[in-house]
């Protein structure tokens, strides 16, 4: 029989993956290199690391927040590999930021902040959909080259 604690961890991992997929679906739709699977895996991995830090290292001599901080650093390196300069334009920055947010959402789920994680996913999708429509309509500063 599966314990209630194990079922809750399975729920957390599933929710994290689904929320990551929601953001990844938008990126996939736009034809970006990191899409549905990448975002789902990042959110899932962040949630799993968070659960491991809570469950495995509960002794007082160990600070479980160290694993969480290393997830942030690791995602930073992953994101840095996606950012490059092509001519005058920086590419991959939004994808890198999105992966960083997906990891944070996964960590929020892992810590049990379900409403916060769902709201952050909704905000991320609003930013990716709504603000993209505004980008071409905001006049550029003529004094900036």
Q: What is the mean pLDDT of residues 53-65?
A: 69
Q: Is 83 a domain residue?
A: yes
Element (H, E) at 90: strand 89-91
Count of CB atoms situated within 10 Å of the CB of 54: 16
**41 within domain boundaries:** yes
Q: Does 143 fall in a domain?
A: no
Q: Distance between CA atoms of 63 and 112, rounded to whole angstroms?
A: 18
Find the mean pLDDT for residues 19-27. Answer: 95
Please determine, for residue 59, whether its predicted confidence score (pLDDT) is greater than 70. no
Query: Is residue 144 situated within a structural domain?
Result: no
For residue 14, count other CB atoms closer than 10 A to its CB. 13
pLDDT of residue 44 exceeding 80: yes
CA distance 99 to 42: 7
Distances (CA, A) of 44 to 3, 14, 40, 90, 118: 21, 8, 6, 28, 14
Q: Is 29 part of a structural domain of the chain?
A: yes
Mean pLDDT of 104-126: 97
pLDDT tens profile 66-80: 777 888 888 887 777
Q: Do the domain assignments include residue 73?
A: yes
Percent of the chain with pLDDT over 70: 90
**pLDDT score of 10:** 97
In a domain, 140, yes or no: no
* pLDDT computed for residue 133 by the predictor: 76
Pick from 37-51, 52-66, 71-85 the range whose average pLDDT is largest: 37-51
Residue 142 has pLDDT above 90, yes or no: no
* Number of domains observed in the structure of the chain: 1
More confident residue, 32 or 43: 43
Mean pLDDT score across all residues of the chain: 87
Tell me the average pLDDT across 19-26: 96
Q: Do the domain assignments include residue 145?
A: no
Residue 65: domain span: 4-135
């Amino acid at each position: 029989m599966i314990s209630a604690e194990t079922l809750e961890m399975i729920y957390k991992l599933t929710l994290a993956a689904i929320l990551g997929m929601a953001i990844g679906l938008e990126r996939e739709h736009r034809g970006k290199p990191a899409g549905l699977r990448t975002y789902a895996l990042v959110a899932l991995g962040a949630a799993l690391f968070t659960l491991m830090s809570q469950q495995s290292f509960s002794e007082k001599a160990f600070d479980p927040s160290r694993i969480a901080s290393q997830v942030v650093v690791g995602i930073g390196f992953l994101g840095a590999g996606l950012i490059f300069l092509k001519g005058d334009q920086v590419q991959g920055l939004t994808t890198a930021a999105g992966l960083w947010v997906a990891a944070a959402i996964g960590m929020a789920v892992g810590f049990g902040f379900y409403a916060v994680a769902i709201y952050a996913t909704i905000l991320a999708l609003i930013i990716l959909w709504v603000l993209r429509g505004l980008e071409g309509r905001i006049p550029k500063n003529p004094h900036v080259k």
